[in-house]
Amino acid sequence: MPHLNQSVFKISLIGAAGGIGQSLSLLLKSQLPKPEIYDKVELCLFDINKDVLNGVMVDLSHIDTLYITLKLSQDIHDCLHNSDIIIMLAGLPRRPGMTRDDLFHINGTIINDLALNIMKNNPSGSSLKNISIVSNPVNSLVPLMVETFKLYKREDLISKVYGVTILDQLRCNHFTGNMNQNIVIGGHSGDTIVPVIQDNELSDDEKLEIINKIRFGGDEVVKAKKGHGSATLSMAYAGFKIFKQFYSLFTSIETNEIGITLYHEIDSCAITGNVKPAILQNVRFFSIPMVIGKNGIPISFNFEIFKYLMNNEFYAKKLLPTCIEKIIENIETGIE
């Protein structure tokens, strides 16, 4: 029997009945290890599609990781209240012929409401450590949420907002056939995705061919699913890699920081010794390797890769300028 006053680590999944939500819930419920500094984990599921959500909840509930309890939240407030990690998956996915930007209007409204509800349910000093946005378009939705927090002077929340871009890294590993050599930076759509392929044996044209496969990997899935959504299984797997790391950071004794690549406000915190490369002067949000501390806030951004990029014409003159032009547009859309 559970005893009273147990400490609970709460993970909230918004849009949990969807394609990504179901698979990610399965991975979280089945694969997260026992927390070291909490008694149990609560996986709190919310979706406007209550019928599907109820079925998902009952189905998952038979998985025998007894230290993880499931809760179906009837309303968003209950789901967000006193959360440690909020994972945002709600919103429309693309259909063939659509760009991620086409999702901005509808998903932007959902993100705006979510930002207001997060503030209501997590006052300053609350346990909230991480807000991860998977919903598209990531490039604009992260600035939108950050700007909403700014408007309401909730500086405590700003540095905890991250855009999940790791699926591009998985695609890069897959299409290059190399798990460790190449990193992906920038944003999460088309030209803003910059896979840094450091293989001297490939010509620029050969690199560009691989880069385009990575950049349009999302479109490949959308096309293959013929109107039945976008990437869900690979996204859930990719997302789980990120959330497992955050989980370990917040619930284990040993882990004091994690190294991770996410989309974040790169001007946001007073980070010592971190100088933005000149080419990113006007770029407020970018996906870059960073080190995140126990409080969920970046300790440092790693701009090392720019030394290589600025000495390589293909990146310095071609890929980065187009990425930057487009990402600034996307950021402005979110902020406006």
Task: Give me the active site residues, please.
Answer: 188
**Contact by Cβ (8 Å): 39, 70:** no
Strand-strand pairing, 257-265 and 8-14: unpaired
Query: With CB under 6 A, what is the number of residues at the site for ligand LMR?
Result: 9
Is 16 annotated as a binding-site member? Answer: yes
Residues 10, 278: Cα–Cα separation, whole Å: 40
Is 171 annotated as a binding-site member? Answer: yes
Nearest CB to ligand LMR, comparing residues 238 and 299: 238
Stretch that binds ligand LMR, among 34-42, 125-133, 214-222, 291-299 (CB under 6 A): 214-222
Residue 89 is a binding residue for ligand LMR (CB under 6 A): no
CA–CA distance from 62 to each of 56, 147, 211, 226 (Å)? 11, 41, 42, 33
The DSSP letter of residue 102 is G
Side chain identity, residue 183: I
Of 10, 100, 129, 215, which lies in the binding site for ligand LMR, with binding defined by CB under 6 A?
A: 100
Q: What CA dihedral angle connects 66, 16, 84 and 113, to 10 degrees?
A: -160
Residue 51 CB neighbour total at 10 angstroms: 9
Nearest CB to ligand LMR, comparing residues 218 and 296: 218
Nearest CB to ligand LMR, comparing residues 92 and 335: 92
Of 231, 236, 260, 324, which lies in the binding site for ligand LMR, with binding defined by CB under 6 A?
A: 231
**Contact by Cβ (8 Å): 134, 235:** yes
3-state secondary structure of 228: coil
Residue 169 is a binding residue for ligand LMR (CB under 6 A): no
Nearest CB to ligand LMR, comparing residues 164 and 299: 164
Of 136, 169, 176, 192, which lies in the binding site for ligand NAD, with binding defined by CB under 6 A?
A: 136
Stretch that binds ligand NAD, among 10-18, 146-154, 279-287, 319-327 (CB under 6 A): 10-18
Residue 167 is a binding residue for ligand NAD (CB under 6 A): yes
Side chain identity, residue 24: L
DSSP for 268-316, written as a single string: SS--TT----GGGTT--EEEEEEEEETTSSEEEE--THHHHHHT-HIII
Residues 161, 122: Cα–Cα separation, whole Å: 14
Q: Is the peptide bond before 35 cis (omega within 30 degrees of 0)?
A: no
Residues 323, 327: Cα–Cα separation, whole Å: 6
Structure tokens belonging to residue 137: 């378009």
Is 100 annotated as a binding-site member? Answer: yes
Residue 235 is a binding residue for ligand NAD (CB under 6 A): yes
Residue 230 is a binding residue for ligand LMR (CB under 6 A): yes
Stretch that binds ligand NAD, among 2-10, 26-34, 131-139, 284-292 (CB under 6 A): 131-139
Residue 94 is a binding residue for ligand LMR (CB under 6 A): yes
Residue 133 is a binding residue for ligand LMR (CB under 6 A): no
Binding residues for ligand LMR, rule: CB under 6 A, are 94, 100, 136, 167, 218, 221-222, 230-231
- Which positions touch ligand NAD (CB under 6 A)? 14-15, 17-21, 46-49, 89-94, 103, 107, 110, 134-136, 138, 164, 167, 188, 229-232, 235
